Structure 1
Amino acid sequence: MERQAANNQPSSTQPSSTRKLVQPHILEEWVGKVYTTICILLLVVTIVAIVFFVSSRGLTTFFVNGVSLGGLLTGMKWDPEGDIKLFGALPFIFGSFSTSILAAVIAAPLGVCAAIFMTQIMPGIGRRVLQPVVELLAGIPSVVFGFVGLSVVVPLLRDIFPGQGIGIAAGSIVLSIMILPTITTIATDALAGLPFGLKEGSYALGATRWQTIYRIVVPTTLPAILTGVVLGMSRAFGEALAVQMVIGNAPHIPHSLFESASTLTSVITLDMGNTVSGSAHNNALWSLAMILLAMTFVFVFIVRFLERRNKR
């Protein structure tokens, strides 16, 4: 009985050993929380600093140089070095939107069809062959796409259509190839994540494979597919070097797809190194960068909206 009572009594060494086990666990948890908090704060500070810097420089055009927002957004003439300084950015805005939209129109069907092939028709070959090729395509530098477009796409368009081959069409084709991996990857993940019994239920009701794909699979994953398309457009909207090499960089609104044009990114990269900091021309370029930043936020909001619809 005395031995049993002694065994039931709490050992004096137990709190000590427990304390030794608990203290490293608490220390690791504390270090993890501090490290995560520092990383999050660093990201927030970086984003806020970028927005503040670009906005402060971009707004100088309106408050110091006296350029109106309406004149910048709707003006047709860009001549910041002339006797009468003109800051009309509408041709650049038109060029950015036209190339991005046309690139999405070209790349979206190709990317969705490739994703359907890799996940619904021949998943074995798709995962072994096509998926590595798509990932390799995503890693190619943009300057390589620009050289390929200048060496292949522009001469091909020159031989088939009237004009020099450079213009909106060449820029859109190059951008469509660049954003194809983004659309394909997101569409593939969405199609591969479908519930297992969804297709089987369609087959059980007598639907064929193609009926199941375009009536069940694609409508179910449509918000996720649209998310990939919007992300691809965001990538195309902010691309500079590849488009600059094939679009012609002419500051006017083209009358056809085979005329030279310009984008917001191309005019910024071409003119920023030739301006003096603080000048009206330099401030106007920062205003164009602010427009690009605002459009990036718009694309992000659209993606978040589509993700919420997908979750519902």
Structure 2
Amino acid sequence: SFSVTLLSTLLALPFALGSAIFVVEISPKFGRTVFQPVVELLVGIPSVVYGLIGLTIVVAWCRGWSNTTGFGIFSGSIVLAVMILPTITSLSIDALTAVPKAYREGAYGVGASRWQTIWHVVLRAAMPSLCTAVVLGMTRAFGEALAVQMVIGNAAQVPDGLFTPASTLTSVLTMGIGNEMMGTVYSDVLWSLALLLLAMSFVFISIIHFIERKGGLNANGR
């Protein structure tokens, strides 16, 4: 679960951050009216559709050049990266938009170029909110079940590579929770996994609150 979550975030973050910079700083008119609505449409696509596309395109592509079955952490990470992309992008756009215009004008006033202003001023000012966007994307990736289940291989083993079939907490739960009788050992294992999933969600939420609190303190100069 952690491997899929981290890899999907690494894959999605450059595209999400670049898209947010494009919408806010490079081409606001086209970005706001055309690009941002298109990206946000991805949120409404059901998970099963992402899973089917991943099964027919991503898995087949990985199978073609990796000489494996195509199922594994890498395939699941690609599908999840597309799924969390609109979440991170939308929140990053809001974070960059919230940076006061005076910051940009001050940077231009001392001779900074557009990219210097974006890199050294805008991104640094929006860093707490951008970190929150990333953590929320990771939370979505960690809790996703159906799409990952369709492309990761669902093998109850510890993988030894990115192209080895594996399972996540959510895929194990969705496959087994409805087929086991209460009171059995395997049922207790599944409920323990569910408790672990709940605990990890709590950890992600705590990280978000910590980032927001630190960001508020820094904004007040403390």
Give the TM interval when normalised to the shorter protein: over 0.9
2:153 is aligned to 248
Amino acid at match of 1:230: V
Note if contact 1:252-1:262 (Cα within 8 Å) is conserved in structure 2: yes
Amino acid at match of 1:216: V
Which deviations, in whole Å up to 9, do the C-alpha atoms of 1:228-283 show, x marking residues without a partner?
11011111111100000000011111111111010011011111122101222111
Question: Which residue of 92, 99, 102 maps to 1:197?
Answer: 102
- 2:24: which partner in 1? 119
**How do 1:1-312 and structure 2 match up within 5 A?**
96-312=1-217
**Partner Cα separation in structure 2 for residue 225 and residue 114 of structure 1:** 13
CA contact (8 A) 1:162 1:258 kept: no
Q: Which amino acid aligns with 1:295?
A: M
Q: Alpha-carbon deviations, 1:145-191, whole Å to 9, x = none? A: 00010011111111122211110000000001111111001100010
Is the partner of 1:252 in helix, strand or coil? coil
Residue 309 of structure 1: how far off its partner (Å): 1.9
Question: For structure 1, which runs of at least 5 residues remain unmatched after alignment?
Answer: 1-95
* Cα distance in 2, alignment partners of residues 114 and 195 from structure 1: 20
The separation in 1 between residues aligned to 2:99 and 2:16, in whole angstroms, is 18
Alpha-carbon displacement from aligned partner over 1:70-107 (angstroms, at most 9, x marks no partner): xxxxxxxxxxxxxxxxxxxxxxxxxx000001011111
SS in 2 for 1:253: coil
Distance across 2 between alignment mates of 1:117 and 1:162: 38
SS at match of 2:177: helix
Unaligned 5+ residue runs, structure 2? 218-222
Q: Distance in 2 between matches of 1:298 and 1:226?
A: 15
Measured on the aligned residues, the alpha-carbon RMSD in Å equals 0.8
Contact 1:111 1:180 in 2 (8 A): yes
TM normalised by structure 1 equals 0.69
Q: Residue deviations 1:184-218, cap 9 Å, x none?
A: 01100010111111101101111100011111111
Structure showing greater radius of gyration is 1
TM-score w.r.t. structure 2 length?
Answer: 0.96
Question: Is the CA contact 1:103–1:176 (under 8 Å) kept in the aligned structure 2?
Answer: yes
Cα distance in structure 2, aligned partners of 1:258 and 1:284: 26
Q: What is the identity percentage for the equivalent residue pairs of Structure 1 and Structure 2?
A: 53
| Corresponding letter in the other structure for 1:148 | I
Paired with 2:126 and 2:65, the residues of 1 have a C-alpha distance of 38
Alpha-carbon contact 1:103-1:175 (below 8 Å) kept: yes
Counterpart CA distance in 2 for 1:225 and 1:181 is 14
Output the amino acid matched with 1:302. Answer: I
SS of match in other structure, 1:254:
coil
In structure 1, distance between residues paired with 2:105 and 2:160: 51
